[in-house]
């Protein structure tokens, strides 16, 4: 269903359900249709929780420019509602829209911890770093109730299998009792994504994420507990928030971050029209400037799907962004210490002690 509406829905990043590109039947709705469509829903679109019956939980990544091989995603869809989220098109595989459906129809893998334990018990599993939030945020609001991420962390701690986490939600501090002992054997690394220090911008761009001050406090809490932490300045949106990179890096360093990364905005497939719609609603006067700035780092287009350049951009503006990151990480002593997660402490119930016999 295609809806050409330009209205804000409180607490949501998208303003409509754009057409699923795999649908053969399309309906062109009018503004009048929308005005008559679920008046209560326009004010507050409630989240629907659906069961995901997946029988496996560890996914293998084969993209050469992604920094992990294995990942766990307890949820499909993300209630955070970030307008720019590159994972939105994954909901199209479920027959849903990458728009409002993605952030209001959340599929949960209720057996995620049990499936993970089963996977790690298999002799075929060779200990390796597992990433959480490779697609959707493992600490999105629903995690407060479902506790699937916590359940997975308990399993990873049991097996001493290392994990890297990335989140926009301060809820991660709830699990400091698990993360701190994991840190003792170099078994965990946590990155907090901070897109902006501007509360107003975050409220409309990432409506159900933690506010900037809460994310910085989460960095501080984790660092104080001995958990290695970093900041991910992502996405850097040229013309909107890229100028904030130095301030974000400094604030994160002051909160205890030791590591940092950044990623320029990516707008794959159906994310582009959703982000353009967001600009129409929230930044109409800056829309063309921002879109042209994105094209500057994406070879004249709004998206560059090519390995190598898609995670860093190309051209003079992208190089400027890279140099700014390099300058300020050096200035604030970030990425000074090399850190590697360790697999040497992995343990599997039933493993026999091995003795060297001369």
Residue 306 located in a structural domain? yes
Q: Where are the alpha helices (DSSP H) in the chain?
A: 31-35, 39-43, 100-104, 112-121, 143-146, 148-159, 176-183, 199-205, 212-224, 245-255, 271-282, 287-297, 316-331
* Structural domains counted in the chain: 1
Which pTM was predicted? 0.88
Q: What is the pLDDT of residue 350?
A: 62
CA distances from 69 to 80, 246, 265, 356 (A): 25, 30, 22, 32
pLDDT (0 to 100) of residue 21: 60
Is the pLDDT at 237 greater than 70, yes or no? yes
Neighbour-count burial of 334, counting CB atoms closer than 10 A to its CB (0-12 exposed, 13-18 middle, 19+ buried): buried
pLDDT number for residue 26: 44
Taking 80 as the threshold, does the pLDDT of residue 28 lie above it? no
Rounded alpha-carbon distances, angstroms, from residue 183 to 180, 227, 261, 347: 5, 5, 20, 16
**Is 352 part of a structural domain of the chain?**
no
pLDDT digit string (tens) for 43-98?
567 899 999 999 999 999 888 878 889 999 999 999 999 999 999 999 999 999 99
Give residue 62's pLDDT: 84
Within 10 A of 353 (CB to CB), how many other CB atoms are there? 4
pLDDT of residue 23: 54
Determine the average pLDDT of the residues in 314-326: 97
Residues 6+ apart with CB under 8 A from 301: 295
pLDDT of residue 314: 94
Within a domain: residue 54?
yes
Domain membership of residue 169 (yes or no) is yes
pLDDT digit string (tens) for 247-278? 999 999 999 999 999 999 999 989 999 999 99
CATH number of the domain that residue 128 is part of: 3.20.20.70
Largest CA distance in the chain: 84
87-119 in b/e form (b: 16+ CB < 10 A) is bbbbbbebebbbbbbbbbbbbbbbbbbebbbeb
Residue 88 lies in a domain: yes
Residue 165 maps to a domain:
yes
Residue 271 lies in a domain: yes
The mean pLDDT of 293-308, rounded to a whole number, is 92
Percent of the chain with pLDDT over 90: 78
Kindly indicate the confidence band of residue 14, based on its pLDDT and cuts at 50, 70 and 90. confident
Predicted local confidence at residue 351, as pLDDT:
61
Q: Is the dihedral of CA 291, 297, 298, 304 positive or negative?
A: negative
Q: So what's the pLDDT on residue 269?
A: 86
Supply the mean pLDDT for the chain: 89
Could you tell me the residue range of the domain that residue 59 belongs to?
Answer: 2-331
Of 296-300, 335-339, 348-352, the range with the lowest mean pLDDT is 348-352
């Amino acid at each position: 269903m295609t809806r050409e509406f330009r209205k804000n829905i409180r607490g949501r990043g998208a303003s409509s359900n754009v057409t699923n590109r795999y649908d053969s039947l399309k309906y062109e709705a009018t503004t009048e249709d929308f005005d008559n469509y679920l008046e209560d829903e326009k004010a507050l679109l409630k989240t629907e929780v659906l069961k995901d019956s997946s029988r496996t939980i560890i996914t293998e990544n084969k993209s050469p420019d992604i920094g992990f091989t294995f990942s766990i995603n307890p949820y499909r869809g993300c209630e955070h509602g970030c307008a720019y989220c590159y994972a939105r098109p994954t909901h199209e595989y479920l027959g849903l829209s990458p728009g409002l459906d993605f952030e209001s129809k959340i599929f949960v893998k209720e057996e995620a911890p049990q499936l993970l334990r089963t996977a790690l018990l298999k002799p075929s599993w060779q200990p390796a770093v597992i990433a959480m939030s490779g697609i959707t945020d493992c600490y999105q609001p629903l995690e407060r109730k479902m506790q699937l991420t916590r359940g997975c962390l308990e399993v990873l701690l049991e097996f001493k299998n290392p994990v890297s986490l990335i989140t926009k939600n301060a809820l991660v501090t709830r699990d400091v009792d698990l993360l701190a002992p994991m840190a003792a054997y170099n078994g965990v690394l946590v990155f907090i994504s901070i897109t902006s220090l501007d509360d107003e911008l975050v409220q409309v761009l990432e409506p159900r994420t933690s506010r900037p001050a809460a994310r910085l406090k989460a960095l501080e809490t984790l660092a104080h507990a001995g958990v290695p932490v970093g900041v991910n300045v992502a996405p850097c949106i040229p013309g909107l928030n890229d100028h904030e990179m130095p301030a974000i890096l400094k604030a994160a360093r002051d909160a205890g971050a030791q590591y940092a990364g950044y990623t320029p905005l990516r707008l794959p497939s159906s994310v582009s029209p959703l982000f353009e719609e967001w600009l129409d609603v929230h930044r109409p006067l800056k829309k063309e400037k921002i879109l042209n700035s994105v094209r500057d780092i994406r070879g004249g287009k709004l998206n560059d799907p090519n390995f190598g350049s898609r995670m860093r951009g190309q051209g003079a503006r992208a190089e400027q962004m890279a140099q700014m990151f390099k300058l300020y990480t050096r200035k604030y002593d970030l990425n000074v210490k090399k850190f590697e997660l360790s697999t040497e402490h992995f343990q599997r119930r039933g493993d026999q002690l091995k003795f060297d016999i001369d």
